[in-house]
Amino acid sequence: MRDRTGTNLCRGTKGLLLNQQTEEITYCGYCLQGCLANVKNGSGLGCIVNPSIDKQPVQATATKNVAVIGGGPAGMAAATQLSVMGHKVTLYEKNPALGGQFEIEGVSRDFALKAAKLDNDSASATFAVAQSAFFDGDCRRGVAWGERAVRLNPLNSRIMGYLGLYMLACRMPEGEAYSTRALQMDPDADLVVAATLAMQKLRRGDAKAAQQLASEYMDSAPGSTPGLEISYILSTAMLGDKDEARRVWRGLTERSGLSESAPPREVLSKWMSNPLLISELEADFVKAQLY
C-alpha cells in the first residue's frame, strides 16, 4: 500500500519492525474511516489514529526557540510536532513526570521516550523516562536517566529532589546527597522530599538530624504533614522524649479519625498505601518503644 507521496507504507512498517523501532508504529484502530471509506469516496488515503498519513511533514522556514508550557498530552504532542518541523523546543512541566491528568502506566512512558528522543536537551522529558523506569522497578536505568536529567538542568530542585527520593526508595544511600542538595537549593521544595530525607537520616542512626529536619519543615508547612510527623515522632522517641512524641502522635491519630491507642499499622494505612513501607514503619514504632 502506498500513499500519495509514493511511500510504501507496508515497507516502512516492516523497516521499523526489523530495526526494533516498534515504539514508532501507530497501530490501526480498525475503524476503516480514514482509509477504506476515504479511498472509496475518492478523497485519498487517510487515517484517524495517524493523521500524518498521506501528508508531507511541514518544515519551518525559520527555526525558532519555542517554549511549550505543560507536559500533558497536548503539550507533548505540540512539542513533538514543533520539533519535527525543525524548531528548538523546550517543554516545561511543574511535576517531575510528564503525562498531566493522563499519567497512565505505559502511556506517559512512551510519550516521554519519544519526547526525550526528539529533544535530547529536555531535562523534563529525560526525567520522565527515569521516573517510568523507577516505577517499573528498574532502579539502575532510573538512576542513569535521572542523573542525565540533573546534568541537563542542575538548577531544577524538583528533579534533583525526586531523583534522591527514588534512589532512597531503591535502597541507594547515594540518593541522600541529591535530596539534601535539592532542599539547599530550594527551601520550599516538596515536603515529601524533606520527609524522605528525614527518614533516611533516622535509618542510618542520626535521630537528632532527622528530628531537626522534620521539625523545621513541620513548622513552615501550611497544612498537615503526615510524612514529616511520622519522622518527627520516631526520631523524638528514639532521643528519649516520649511525651513529645506521643503528643504529636495524638494529633496524627485524631486527624486519622482514630484513637490514640490505635495500632500504628491502622493509623499508617490511613496515609500510606505501600504495605512494605507500612511494615517497616510499624517495626520502627516497636523499636521506639512508644507502646
- For cell 504533614, name the residue: 225
pTM above 0.75, yes or no: no
Q: What is the pLDDT of residues 56-65, one digit of tens each?
A: 667 788 888 8
Domain 190-291 has CATH 1.25.40: yes
Q: What is the pLDDT of residues 107-164, one digit of tens each?
A: 455 655 565 555 567 788 788 888 888 887 889 989 999 999 999 999 989 899 999 9
Q: Any idea where the domains of the chain sit in the sequence?
A: 1-55, 57-171, 190-291
Q: What class, spelled out in words, does domain 57-171 have in CATH?
A: mainly alpha
